[in-house]
Amino acid sequence: MSFSRRRFLEIAGLAGGAVALRSFVSPQLAQASPDNPQLLLVCYLSGGVDQMLTLDPRDASLAKYQASAAYAAGGTGIHPAYDLVTDSRVKAVLAATSGSGLQKKGALTFGPAMPASLINHGADLAVLRGVNMGTLTHEVGRRYFTTGKFPRGLSASGSSLGTAVAAADGKETLIPNLTISSETYNETFPTWASGLGGNSFDDVLSLLKPIGTPLATGIDSAVMDYEAISDSCLQRELNGAGLVDTFKASRIKARTMVSSTASALFNFKVPAPAALVDLFATLEITKASDLLASKGNAAIAAQALTQGISQSVSIQLARNLDDHDGWGDTHATTLADGLEALGNLITYLKKTPYKGGSSMTWAHTTLLVFSEFARTPLLNGRAGRDHHLASSCLVAGPGIKGNQIVGATSDQALAVRNVNPTTGKPDDANGIALRPADIHATLLHSMGLSYEHLSNQSPQLLPVILTKP
């Protein structure tokens, strides 16, 4: 649906300037080096986020957003309903903002569920609003934003952003592309860049340590010697598409991971071991159950990035956000918990040197925070919110200008508005509708990496957020 709408705009000439720009974008070559690693942190909010609570708020104190006006014929079709949220943090924000729910930081404005721990990093953050997801199906939206390519049916098309970044510069890292409770895809990049991980620190540990009794050292070597020379006729028959080669490369990588000492970095427990005291304190991990939720995932990301275990880390920050019922009771709480963990994670990355060196990890980290789509601006009959096309996302990084809002949704039913990619301002007549492909391309470009793998999506860079357009 997104494509046909976009294509219609292009054919109609309404986005002519944008089309011309797309055709002449030349991907840069990678500029990363051991001294200047390009790290990526991708955070996924699962289920579809109510953007009014966080990145794309509305002033709930205005009459046009009260229920009586919002639901009326000819009304705005937008009902923030912040007063129906039971989360104490949201209530506190409403009380402090005279009911508007708007939290300002520099040029940014956030909704009442945006935690202070993340707002405090506003100078680094760029908010992209009015992203046209082109789907209301969870799998499709999730995979669209994960790869930057619109899926084929439910099947992902292309490769994850994390895979593309890991493939550029992550070969020497132990787990180039670590994924925690996130989907990962690799269509065109080397096998070693494929996402690895699981759902918790336990899964990371089980990845880095043998389960059960390992073979004795000499016997292990004998098995590997055998594998090195093993080359049966059947292997050659099966290797038509290179799957046997892939299998063998994966087997070597698996052995490398197990033989490392990295498992100690993820040996999470409460109370924190001495080496993890600062990490756990910064992330406010105080009980064992924290380790299995957003705080635990943030801790995994912190270790993987600061210790140079991974080039790219993708984590799920919040789950079960698909609140078709009882939105006011759970949505803001789940969302704020996840974003609070992210805020604390950024704080930790800002104060922790990369691999013990002289530069802080955050100085090398590019960030993308997304969900598969947004939620409807009006509550349904079950006090919930359904799926909505016009979403928002958060980006940051050394190549990204922070303290910016790019794009917008309309004041009529939160519809997608076109944006001028150079100014970031809404431009309904001549702008473009923001898509995940544009955001992927811009982030990769900001890291000095190629985005050629997205070429069939005609990605449009967003110079407005690039430090080096």
Partner 1 sequence: MKRALPLIFAALVACSSGDPTASGPSLIDTPGGDSPPTDHPPLDPTKKPVTSAATQRVSVAQLRGAFPVILGKDVNGEDITWMVGGTPALDKMADVLGEADYAYVTQDNRDPSALYLKFMDDAARDVCDRALVADAARPKAADRVLLRFVEKADTVASNAAGVTENLAYLALRFHGIKVKAGDDTRIAPLRTLFTAAVTAAAASKPVTAAHITEGWRAVCVALVTAPEFHLY
360 is a contact residue toward partner 1 (CB under 8 A): no
Answer for which of 154, 264, 281, 288 binds partner 1 (CB under 8 A) is 154
425 is a contact residue toward partner 1 (CB under 8 A): no
- Phi, psi angles (nearest 5°) of residue 285: -90, 115
246 is a contact residue toward partner 1 (CB under 8 A): yes
Least Å from the CB of residue 254 to partner 1: 4
H/E run at residue 146: helix 138-147
381 is a contact residue toward partner 1 (CB under 8 A): no
Residue whose C-alpha is closest to residue 355's, from 297, 296, 312, 309: 309
329 is a contact residue toward partner 1 (CB under 8 A): no
Q: How far does CA 268 lie from the centroid of its chain? A: 24
Tell me whether residue 147 or residue 460 sits nearer to partner 1 (CB atom).
147
234 is a contact residue toward partner 1 (CB under 8 A): yes
Cα angle, residue 430 at apex, residues 427 and 434 outer, rounded to 5°? 65
Residue whose C-alpha is closest to residue 174's, from 204, 214, 211: 204
Sequence-separated (6 or more) residues with CB below 8 Å from residue 176: 166, 167, 170, 192, 193, 310, 311, 312
Least Å from the CB of residue 258 to partner 1: 7
* 3-state SS track over 98-134: CCCCCEEECCEEECCCCCHHHHCCHHHCEEEEEEECC
215 is a contact residue toward partner 1 (CB under 8 A): yes
Segment interacting with partner 1, rule: CB under 8 A, options 144-152, 246-254, 332-340, 410-418:
246-254
429 is a contact residue toward partner 1 (CB under 8 A): no
Distance CA 305, CA 212 (A): 28
Least Å from the CB of residue 300 to partner 1: 15
237 is a contact residue toward partner 1 (CB under 8 A): yes
Cα angle, residue 139 at apex, residues 136 and 144 outer, rounded to 5°? 80
x/- track of binding to partner 1 for residues 103-142 (CB under 8 A): ------------------------------------x---
Distance CA 224, CA 274 (A): 36
Answer for which of 14, 258, 413, 415 binds partner 1 (CB under 8 A) is 258
* Residues engaged in binding partner 1 (CB under 8 A): 139, 154-155, 183, 186, 191-192, 194, 196-199, 203, 206-207, 210-219, 221-223, 225-227, 229-241, 243-244, 246-248, 250-251, 253-255, 257-258
